[in-house]
């Protein structure tokens, strides 16, 4: 089993640029989660999907952030325009159902200059 | 808002058992205790979870007190690779409280 796959693993961009992070959940999992981890705020949930439908996006910091899940095997988290305070590690996780055990990907380390 | 309390850090000697405590005095009847760990620069890794009975798997054992207000994660033979931040999380299996809310965790340092 390949586990949750995230790309890119590292991203360095300049303020104002668009950033797209990608996630492939574990096959057969119906729920997908996006988290962000910073030193100041720790690990926090941004949004989660169930059966490709966004269920709770209350953690999305502002309108610059958007997430999509066009099919069961792919999701994106987009930041447009990016700002230095968006620098963080972004994790994707998936589970069979949103109440089941979540399995995390390796993360994408984003640096916005 | 994490519903658990963990000491900030602890250490243990390699090969010895590591007992990581967690307090969750406000836990509800339908809430599970989950443990994850995060090794430096990696994603959180699921370890074990339980409701009220003690649980054991290939990674660890989870001991939950009878009143369910606290629990202990036991790594029976700690190795250097077990050095990580360990998160104790209380989580319902229904509704909004099914979210995973990570606190600061406990940093376990395994010394040679």
- Looking at CA atoms only, how far is residue A32 from chain B in angstroms? 12
Kindly state the average pLDDT of the residues A45-53. 94
Q: CA B94, CA B73: separation in Å to the nearest integer?
A: 24
- Looking at CA atoms only, how far is residue B64 from chain A in angstroms? 19
What pLDDT is stored for residue B97 in this prediction? 62
Residue among B43, B98, B104 whose CB faces A98 most closely: B98
Residue among B42, B92, B99 whose CB faces A45 most closely: B99
Q: Is the pLDDT of residue A1 over 70?
A: no
Kindly state the average pLDDT of the residues B50-77. 96
Confidence label for A28 from pLDDT (cuts 50, 70 and 90): very high
CB spacing of B98 vs A56 below 8 angstroms: no
Q: CA A22, CA A61: separation in Å to the nearest integer?
A: 18
CB spacing of A103 vs B103 below 8 angstroms: no
- Looking at CA atoms only, how far is residue B40 from chain A in angstroms? 11
What pLDDT is stored for residue B21 in this prediction? 97
What pLDDT is stored for residue B2 in this prediction? 60
CB spacing of B102 vs A43 below 8 angstroms: yes
Residue among B49, B93, B100 whose CB faces A45 most closely: B100
Bridge partners (DSSP) listed for residue B34: B49, B89
What pLDDT is stored for residue A67 in this prediction? 97
Kindly state the average pLDDT of the residues A21-28. 97
Confidence label for A62 from pLDDT (cuts 50, 70 and 90): confident
CB spacing of B103 vs A102 below 8 angstroms: no
Q: What is the largest CA-CA distance in chain B?
A: 44
Of B69, B73, B5, B74, nearest to B31 by C-alpha is B69
Q: CA B87, CA B106: separation in Å to the nearest integer?
A: 7
B-chain residues near A91 (CB < 8 A): 43-44
Which of A4-8, A58-62, A76-80 is least confident? A58-62
What pLDDT is stored for residue B99 in this prediction? 81
Q: How far is CA B42 from CA A9, A89, B39, B45, in A?
A: 11, 10, 6, 8
- Looking at CA atoms only, how far is residue B33 from chain A in angstroms? 11
Confidence label for A23 from pLDDT (cuts 50, 70 and 90): very high
Q: Is the pLDDT of residue B95 over 80?
A: no
């Amino acid at each position: 089993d390949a586990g949750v796959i995230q790309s890119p693993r590292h991203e360095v961009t300049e303020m104002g640029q668009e950033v797209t992070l990608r996630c492939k959940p574990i096959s057969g999992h119906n729920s997908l989660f996006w988290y962000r981890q910073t030193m100041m705020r720790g690990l926090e949930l941004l949004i989660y999907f169930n059966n490709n439908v966004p269920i709770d996006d209350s953690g999305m910091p502002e309108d610059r952030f958007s997430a999509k899940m066009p099919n069961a095997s792919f999701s994106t988290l987009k930041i447009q325009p990016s700002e230095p305070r968006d620098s963080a590690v972004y994790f994707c996780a998936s589970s069979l159902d949103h109440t089941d055990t979540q399995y995390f990907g390796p993360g994408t380390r984003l640096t916005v200059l | 808002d994490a519903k658990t309390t963990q000491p900030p850090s602890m250490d243990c000697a390699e090969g010895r058992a590591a007992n990581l405590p967690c307090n969750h005095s406000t836990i509800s009847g339908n809430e599970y205790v989950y443990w994850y760990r995060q090794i430096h620069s990696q994603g959180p890794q699921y370890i074990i979870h339980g409701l009220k009975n003690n649980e054991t798997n290939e990674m660890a054992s989870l001991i939950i007190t009878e009143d369910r207000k606290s629990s202990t994660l036991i790594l029976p033979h700690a190795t250097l690779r077990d050095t990580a931040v360990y998160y104790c999380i209380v989580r319902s299996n229904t509704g909004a409280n099914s979210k995973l809310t990570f606190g600061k965790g406990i940093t376990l340092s395994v010394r040679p």
